[in-house]
A and B are shown apart, each in its own frame.
Chain A
Amino acid sequence: MSKEKTISSLKEITQDTYKYGFTTQVAAETAPKGLNEDVIRFISTKKEEPDWLLDFRLKAYRHWLTMKEPHWAKVSYPPIDYQDLYYYAAPQVKKGPKSLNEVDPKILETYEKLGIPLQEQKVLAGVVAVDAVFDSVSVATTYRARLAEQGIIFCSMSEAVREHPELVQKYLGSVVPYTDNFFACLNSAVFSDGSFVFIPKGVKSPMELSSYFRINARNSGQFERTLIVCEEGAYVSYLEGCTAPQRDENQLHAAVVEIVVLDDAEVKYSTVQNWYPGDKDGKGGIYNFVTKRGLCRNRAKLSWTQVETGSAITWKYPSCVLAGDDSVGEFYSVALTNHYQQADTGTKMIHLGRNTRSTIVSKGISAGHSNQTYRGLVKMGKKALNGRNFSRCDSLLIGDKCGAHTIPVMQSGNMTAQIEHEATTSKISEEQLFYCMSRGLNSEEAVSLIVNGFCKEVMQHLPMEFAIEAGRLIGISLEGSVG
């Protein structure tokens, strides 16, 4: 089967899990505004959760009350009133447009540029339900069955709590404890839903698992919780997000992603994040405070690849705890900010085991009035003998009103470890622009081409079809950045 087909079938499967996750539940209801223990009990009851999970949420909530919102990141935003938010709204079928004619032409133009097929456009725009387009439950079931045959579990977090409570209980909070940080703690108390992936010992997932459609189809993005467990010798490639612009009524997003990579296992986690960034004057836009971390056991490997073009504010540091000997962590990132977007992003590589290796390649592009900070930590523990890290942070500036900052922190606890750091900052030169334009490219095409060249090293780590769309996305996100 062609890769493309596999992907579209996957979308069906993920959609299908959503169906299981939600449609069987009681009628829609919304918890009152604000956060207290009653609201948390309400969420837990609505989701028919076991006592241990309610307990986890309550502990997190009580701890959260003792914490202060962090303000060390180089981002600024008005104070968030946590009592002025809704923390639970059962999914509702929204009244969407009846045909593509009723959809904002600007959005359609973007879909067109991204090369999203017409049928998928209809789904993304909310014209039709996914089922109406991919009405092939049987195909989805076949794939589900194919995954299940190998013992792979890929479902919504809610479903996992019901169907595989022992696995969730064992691993939830094992990499990102609820005490970890303010936003992760909040997430632990009120998380809505997310994905659960379990790959049993020795199994290589026969396909890439994608959260693509599930996130788009419904509003579960606000306090998303993802847990991936890859047992000994297993492998999985997981794709999160999509290139199509995503809007959400909820401005505050605080997701947690936990990944457990046991001995000799490998996880590849790819993200394309394109949440609504606000308008060109900096109004609106999503605040994205994300905690992502993976724990690698002996000889395990975790690779993060991310393309971030969205959100008004991004606060995100996908990290690797290299606990096992000979384990490997990788972080490949493209972050693009335009207009008034602010991004404070980077990674942490915590080397604990011997002969652990990590690679960081970060490419930041700032345009308009945006501000971007790379913040990274490379830490070699006392026992991380022969640990090695290589980091490279390149920043590209477009125009003279934006900013790029690099804050690498390196700590070495033993004499045998090696840490290398390279950093560059450059601008797109007038000569480059003129050269491209003298070959017939308009200024936007020229900037897009030059920026894609700048990011190539990272993009090539994305799965093929994701990479092509992400390349186009970069061009679109830069629109209006050159005069």
Chain B
Amino acid sequence: MALLEIKNLCARVGEKQILKDFSLCIEEGTVHAIMGPNGSGKSTLSNVIAGNPAYEITAGTVLFKGKDLLKMTPDERANEGVFLAFQYPVEIPGVSYATFLKQALASKMKYLGEKPLDAMHFIKRLKVRAQALGVTDEMLKRPVNVGFSGGEKKRLETLQMGFLEPDFCILDEMDSGLDIDALKIVSDGVNIMREARRSFLLITHYQRLLELIEPDVIHIMVDGHIVETGDKTLALRLEEKGYAGYR
């Protein structure tokens, strides 16, 4: 069954058309990767799926679990199970990670009509996930994304993703700014989440990430839409020849 179905999507920022007749179908339980040169619209795609109001949709449809995603606010999308791990996570001074995650979980529970987790269970659940990603208690007490290194921020994005247990995860250039050890930790964090009902969309420039998180399908995106789809051998070929042939 299709988890996410994008058809003929067009989107722009200001006057600039970025997504041009973009279509993509992601089945339940699959991992898709999108590769493409700078400026091909990969980050726009992830922002549009998550509902960033800075982008204007001019045509097309997006169905998530059969529901019209484009009619939902960003928080509704999140609570329906969409998660975007940001390329550049945003600072929220004065709000600790623990507080932030507690509020996020409470909002989700409220949306789903469930009772919020009590403090004890919340902390337990958070700590288990945090330890696996090498996130210390001290880090959880610090304000969201303030004063963390690039690698730490990505680990914390992965922690949020694991903690909120979404059905569809978009990882926007998760590998940028990560050294090989950090990349391994983050990849393990993602792999452990792979299961029959959960799907992933990896956005990356490099083959490196795809060696650690093995995708089922790879797409090449150029100039606002997908130009080729294949299996993991596509990434290897790309590594050799670059994007030149697609332009």
Contacts and interface: CB of A to CB of B under 8 A. Distances in A.
B94 A437 contact: no
B93 interface: yes
B103 A438 contact: no
Q: Which of B51, B92, B100, B108 gathers most chain A CB within 10 Å? A: B92
Contacts of B51: 434, 437-438
Contact of A454 (B93, B103, B104): B93
B108 to A, nearest CB: 5
Contact of B52 (A434, A441, A456): A434
A364 to B, nearest CB: 15
Interface string A416-444: 00000000000001111011111111110
Contact of A441 (B53, B75, B143): B75
A444 to B, nearest CB: 10
B86 interface: yes
Contacts of B95: 449-450, 452-453, 456
B107 interface: yes
A449 B107 CA distance: 12
Given A435-B92, A453-B92, A442 B103 contact: no
B89 interface: yes
Contacts of B246: none
B90 interface: yes
B90 A439 contact: no
A445 interface: yes
A440 B92 contact: no
B18 to A, nearest CB: 17
A434 B53 contact: yes
B107 A442 contact: yes
Given A437-B74, A439-B100, A430 B54 contact: yes
Contact of A445 (B91, B92, B103, B143): B103
A437 B92 contact: no
B84 interface: yes
A455 B78 CA distance: 27
A431 B50 CA distance: 13
B73 interface: yes
A449 B100 contact: yes
A217 B87 CA distance: 54
A457 interface: yes
Interface in A267-304: none
A438 B164 contact: no
A432 to B, nearest CB: 5
A441 B103 CA distance: 7
Nearest to B74: A437
A431 B77 CA distance: 17
Contacts of A440: 75, 78-79, 104-105, 107-108, 111, 164
Interface in B149-173: 160, 164
Nearest to B90: A435
A437 B78 CA distance: 8
Interface string A78-114: 0000000000000000000000000000000000000
Interface string B65-86: 0000000011101110001101
Interface residues of B, number: 32
B164 to A, nearest CB: 7
Contacts of A455: 94
Contact of B94 (A434, A446, A452): A452
Q: Which of A438, A440, A453 gathers most chain B CB within 10 Å? A: A440
B104 to A, nearest CB: 4
A13 to B, nearest CB: 31
Contacts of B79: 440
Interface string A334-372: 000000000000000000000000000000000000000
B143 A453 contact: yes
Interface in B92-150: 92-95, 99-100, 103-105, 107-108, 111, 143
Nearest to A445: B107
A438 B76 CA distance: 9
B94 A456 contact: yes
A456 B146 CA distance: 15
A434 B74 contact: yes
A446 B86 CA distance: 17
Nearest to B54: A430
Nearest to B84: A438
Contacts of A457: 94
B75 A437 contact: yes
A433 to B, nearest CB: 9
Contacts of B86: 435, 438
Contacts of B99: 449
Contacts of B84: 438
A450 B90 CA distance: 12
Given A456-B94, A457-B94, A438 B107 contact: no
A318 to B, nearest CB: 23
B142 to A, nearest CB: 12
Nearest to A442: B75
A430 B53 contact: yes
A290 B103 CA distance: 36
Contacts of A442: 73, 75, 107
A437 B100 contact: no
A438 B92 contact: no
B92 A450 contact: yes
Contacts of B104: 439-441
A300 to B, nearest CB: 31
A5 to B, nearest CB: 20
Given A430-B53, A434-B52, A441 B107 contact: yes
B156 to A, nearest CB: 12
Contacts of A430: 53-54
A440 B50 CA distance: 11
Given A442-B107, A445-B103, A437 B93 contact: no
19 contacts: A434-B50, A434-B74, A435-B90, A436-B92, A438-B77, A438-B78, A438-B83, A440-B75, A440-B79, A440-B105, A441-B104, A442-B73, A442-B75, A443-B75, A445-B103, A449-B95, A449-B99, A454-B94, A456-B94
Given A435-B90, A440-B105, A442-B73, 20 more contacts: A429-B90, A431-B90, A432-B90, A434-B50, A434-B52, A435-B89, A437-B74, A438-B83, A439-B100, A440-B79, A440-B107, A441-B107, A442-B75, A442-B107, A443-B73, A443-B75, A452-B94, A452-B95, A453-B92, A456-B94
Closest CB pairs A-B (n = 8): A453-B94, A453-B95, A437-B74, A435-B90, A456-B94, A440-B78, A439-B104, A440-B107
